[in-house]
Structure 1
């Protein structure tokens, strides 16, 4: 089970990075501004890894193929969550 968890974190993080590159066209490095710290590609990496970890622990895949499939799905889902949050923030700013 421990190997499955580590494997799912790595796969989910990689899918998160691929989603970041797909969205921005390049890897954006973390940086600190006066108001906040922008995580850059680490934001998608961490979200994809955590989503894959949660899905793997919850479902307990029986084979390596299931583990890869669940990790990829979770990584894509993490990217979707970030997109929805950004859309909600934009519509909230437009309504004000």
Structure 2
């Protein structure tokens, strides 16, 4: 089970980084401003990794193929959730 956890974290984090590069066209490094800490690519990497970990722990896959599929789906879903939160934030700022 420990190998499944590590495997899901790596795949989910990789999917998060790929989603970040797809959205921004490059890897944006973390930076700190006066009022805010912007995590850059780490934000999406961590979200994808945690989403993949939670899904793999919840479903307990029986094989590595299932682990890969669940981790990919969770990483993509985490990226979609992050995009949805940003869209909601932008719409609320426009009003």
TM-score for the superposition, normalised by structure 1: 0.98
Q: How do 1:21-32 and structure 2 match up within 5 A?
A: 21-32=21-32
1:31-69, CA deviations, whole angstroms, 9 ceiling, x for partnerless residues? 000110000000000000000000000000000000000
What secondary structure sits across from 1:58 in the alignment? helix
Q: State the shift of 1:14 in Å.
A: 0.2
SS in 2 for 1:35: coil
| Cα RMSD (Å) | 0.4
Separation in 1 of the partners of 2:32 and 2:94? 26
User: How many pairs were matched up?
Assistant: 95
CA–CA distance in 1 between the matches of 2:19 and 2:84?
A: 14
In the alignment, the residues of structure 1 paired with residue 94 and residue 29 of structure 2 have an alpha-carbon distance, to the nearest angstrom, of 28
Unaligned runs of at least 5 residues, structure 2: none
Q: Distance in 1 between matches of 2:46 and 2:38?
A: 13
Distance, in Å, in 1 between the alignment partners of 2:26 and 2:94 is 28
Ranges of 4+ aligned residues in structure 1 off by more than 3 Å: none
Aligned equivalents of 1:77, 1:36: Cα separation in 2: 26
- Structure 1 residue 93: Cα displacement: 0.7
